[in-house]
Amino acid sequence: MRRGREVTLRDVAELAGVSSRTVSNVVNGYANVTERTRLRVQRAVDELGYRPNVLARNLAQGRSGQIAVVVPYLDTPYFAELLQGIIRAARVQGYNVLIDQTDGDREHERMLITRGAHRLLFDGVIFSPLGLSQSALADRDLTLPLVILGERVSDGTFDHVGIDDVAASRQATEHLLDLGRSRVAAIGDQPYETGEAAQLRTRGFREAHERRGLPVHEDLIIPTPRFNRPDGAGAMAYLLDGDARPDAVFCYSDLVALGAIHTLVSRGLRVPEDVAVIGYDDIEDGAYSNPTVTTISPDKELIAATAVERLLLRIGSPTPPPGLELRAPHRLVVRESTVGRATGTDGTR
């Protein structure tokens, strides 16, 4: 490495024996460079310790060097864990991350994606909408690079990154049915316009019963306003106070599961002996609760990395690519809340 002054792009070009434009093409990941030349430039970059001036590059291209990540709630562990992955992936690419919490407010969400709102603040948005319906997303600034997280379908102008919620919920419910549970409840349904996530999970819950040729107990499908601990605790109390107690519960988030378990234990019931409980999201709390929580684990790191990759591709392209439906894998993590302490494992099925 050269000492005493900042290594420049021209220094790299001289050492590699190429033009400054070629070095720029390599550093910025453009494809119109042969592999042999790319390797020669990369060796020069490594030898000199060259670091691109990201700020200068962004200013020259009329960009802020920042992306926005918009989520409904920052106090939800799932979003906190996902944000960590997004920040790490963006930092590698030289981007800073601005974070906004919407609380599901429809007008606030709309403001963030309407025409001209972003110009001086950020270059694109990774967005998990709660207040906006699918149809409302169409009323936005179509020039704004956008990647959607959660339960939406791309209209061809943005990318959507998530998991197959129907398949994951079906797998969670089948796990309970395969354990011989016959009265399986579902906590978290949201039968209104913006409750797509909950509706997909209810659909998977129903499909699991249909595949087994078993009836769905409609009185055991309990709606909740959010996917939080109090929602799970209250819904579980409602079920226990009813005429027909469930012997298993599929909760639409791990926080709901933790709330449900709290109510069960406070009522003197055993988990899973009396009532088995499965959650969704694989937040860290679930691995340290008592009992530990069986859950559906989405690949949050891959979701984060894919969202950043697709957003930066849109930011850097003069002709944005068509919107894609991108599915990350999920797995069933079996723990004590469904199979008990003696045989519980933190493995996959």
Q: What is the CATH number of the domain that holds 339?
A: 3.40.50.2300
My answer on whether 127 and 178 are in the same domain is no
Report the distance separating Cα 178 and Cα 173, nearest Å: 9
* The pLDDT value given to residue 58: 57
Instruction: Let me know how long the chain is.
Output: 349
The gap between the terminal CA atoms of the chain, to the nearest Å, is 50
Structure tokens at 73: 């709630």
Nearest to 250 by CA among 200, 302, 192: 200
Give the number of other CB atoms < 10 A from CB of residue 185: 28
Task: Compute the CA torsion angle 301, 94, 155, 131 (nearest 10 deg).
Answer: 70
pTM higher than 0.75: yes
- Whether 24 is covered by a domain: the verdict is yes
My answer on whether 203 and 309 are in the same domain is no
Count of structural domains, the chain: 3
Report the distance separating Cα 188 and Cα 228, nearest Å: 9
pLDDT in tens, 279-335: 999 999 999 999 999 999 999 999 999 999 999 999 888 787 888 899 999 999 999
- Whether 19 is covered by a domain: the verdict is yes
* The pLDDT value given to residue 252: 98
My answer on whether 248 and 338 are in the same domain is yes
Distant-in-sequence, close-in-space partners of 46: CB < 8 Å, separation ≥ 6: none
What domain range includes position 15?
Answer: 1-48
Relative orientation angle of helices 20-27 and 9-16, to the nearest 10 degrees: 110
Q: What is the CATH number of the domain that holds 6?
A: 1.10.260.40
* The pLDDT value given to residue 29: 60
- Whether 58 is covered by a domain: the verdict is no
Question: Which parts of the chain register pLDDT below 70?
Answer: 1-5, 28-32, 51-64, 115-120, 153-155, 342-349
Nearest to 334 by CA among 279, 285, 283: 279
Angle at 27 between CA 63 and CA 34, to 5 degrees: 130
My answer on whether 179 and 292 are in the same domain is yes
| Contact status, residue 292 vs residue 337, Cβ threshold 8 Å | yes
My answer on whether 107 and 239 are in the same domain is no
- Whether 53 is covered by a domain: the verdict is no
My answer on whether 290 and 228 are in the same domain is yes
Sheet containing 221-223, strands listed edge to edge, beginning at the edge strand earlier in sequence: 221-223, 184-189, 248-251, 276-278
**Percent helix, strand and coil across the chain, each rounded to 5?**
40, 15, 40
- Whether 11 is covered by a domain: the verdict is yes
My answer on whether 252 and 337 are in the same domain is yes
CA-CA distances (angstroms) from residue 48 to 35, 37, 174?
Answer: 20, 17, 57
My answer on whether 103 and 241 are in the same domain is no
My answer on whether 133 and 194 are in the same domain is no
My answer on whether 158 and 185 are in the same domain is no
* The pLDDT value given to residue 118: 59
* The pLDDT value given to residue 349: 44
